[in-house]
Amino acid sequence: MNWLQSFLLPKAAATHASEVDGLFMFIIYLTVFFFFFNGALIFYAAHRWRRRSAGEVTPHTTHNTKLELIWSIIPLMVVMMIFFWGFKGYISAAVAPNDATEIVVTAKKWVWQFEYPDGTRTLNDLHVPLNKPVKLIMHSEDVIHSFFVPTFRLKRDVLPGRYTEIWFTATEPGVQQVFCAEYCGKGHSDMLAKIHVDTDEQYETFLREGDEQVRQMPLKDLGRLVYENKGCATCHSVDGTRGQGPSWKGIFGQVHQGTDGKGHLVDENYIRESILYPQAVVVQGFEPIMPTFQGLLREREILGVIEYIKSLK
């Protein structure tokens, strides 16, 4: 009856999905059986004892204790079995192994944001390694959402003001669909995401160089993305306003006066040095408060920031 399973359920792509599927198909068979069983009894009765004359006398059967016990106890045993089966699957899906990769999921109307242990963030695209446990720590910034992966047989509400967790081990390389399953307004049905199940090699590449989208993005745009997402914007403006640090507007090619009394030409190497060793040169009139971004930015992202600063005229 494999055809029935592949008709009713999407192809399983995570470790505990097969257990869910086993129970699902068991109840399906049970449902089909009892539907036809009851249906057969009803149609047999309606045909066999259809009224032939007005004065027919029927037996006065008020009850039959033995029969009633049978049809109470058998369903009871069946449902208890289903309960324990379902409970077992639920428990095994509840506790994540200790070595699981932890990814933070933030839901808001109507996007999914994923943050990896190294600080990388992606929007609506989640990269996970194949055959390794992954734990999602989820919260919402506005209303309740629900993270639903049909092929993993997995779903968990994402709540504001509280963290919920799920974990899974993906077993099929490729792309899996994520839906938002808790109604959240106008864009509810567009709040989709994709899980990219990567081989070890692909996952390494992703962590090193960012996902496909980032790799193909023009450097200038990547730089703006870094500026917005990595906290540069808190201190550096791009419109000439003075902040905690110097504005980026029009500085490329200028000479900065450092606290060491020397002038420094703002070029590619100066910017790179400022990002990785911020205290090497501090511009006059500013506090030496910038943290280092060593290890937080990828090579290509640093290049992106340089190109972005070049573009601000």
What residues between 55 and 74 interact with another protein by CB under 8 A?
A: 56-65, 67-68, 71-72
- With beta carbons less than 8 A apart as the criterion, state whether 110 and 180 touch: yes
Q: Which 89-118 positions form the footprint of another protein (CB under 8 A)?
A: 89-91, 93-94
Q: Which of 20, 128, 134, 305 binds another protein (CB under 8 A)?
A: 20
Hey, how many other C-beta atoms are within 10 angstroms of the C-beta on 205? 16
Q: What is the DSSP string of 208-221?
A: HH--HHHHHS-HHH
Residue 312 in contact with another protein, rule: CB under 8 A: no
Query: What is the closest distance, in whole angstroms, from the C-beta atom of residue 84 to another protein in the complex?
Result: 9
Residue among 114, 148, 206, 293 that touches another protein (CB under 8 A): 148
Nearest to 12 by CA among 203, 149, 147: 149
| Count of positions (residues) in the chain | 313
Tokens of 6: 């592949």
- Provide the token pair at 80: 């208890």
Q: Which of 34, 97, 173, 288 binds another protein (CB under 8 A)?
A: 34
Answer for which of 2, 3, 46, 313 binds another protein (CB under 8 A) is: 46
* Structure-token match 């049970």, residue found: 30
Instruction: Say if CB 288 and CB 262 are below 8 A apart.
Output: no
Is residue 2 part of the contact set for another protein (CB under 8 A)? no
Interface residue with another protein, options 121, 132, 135, 155 (CB under 8 A): 155
Taking CB under 8 A as the criterion, the residue among 2, 3, 7, 313 binding another protein is 7
Q: Among the candidate windows 148-156, 216-224, 268-276, 294-302, which touches another protein by CB under 8 A?
A: 148-156
Residue 82 near residue 115, CB atoms below 8 Å: no
Q: Which among 47-55, 98-106, 211-219, 224-232 is the span making contact with another protein, rule CB under 8 A?
A: 47-55
The CB-of-174 to another protein minimum distance in angstroms stands at 16
Distances (CA, A) of 226 to 16, 230, 239: 37, 5, 17
Tell me: does residue 19 bind another protein (CB under 8 A).
yes
Neighbours of 111 (CB within 10 A): 17
Task: Give residues 168-207 in contact with another protein (rule: CB under 8 A).
Answer: 177, 179-190
Q: Does 1 bind another protein (CB under 8 A)?
A: no
Q: Does 245 bind another protein (CB under 8 A)?
A: no
The neighbour count for residue 296, using CB atoms within 10 Å, is 16
The interface region with another protein, picked from 21-29, 208-216, 277-285, 287-295 by CB under 8 A, is 21-29
Piece in contact with another protein (CB under 8 A), picked from 122-130, 159-167, 243-251, 262-270 = 159-167
> Any contact of residue 29 with another protein (CB under 8 A)?
no
CA distance 52 to 267: 103
164 binds another protein (CB under 8 A): yes
DSSP 8-state symbol, 67? H
Is 291 a residue that touches another protein (CB under 8 A)?
no
Give 24's Cβ-side CA count (13 Å radius). 16
Nearer Cβ to another protein, position 9 or 207?
A: 9
- State in angstroms the smallest separation of the CB of 135 from another protein: 15
CB burial string 79-107: b at 16+ within 10 A, e below: eeeeeebeeebeeebeebeeebbebbbbb
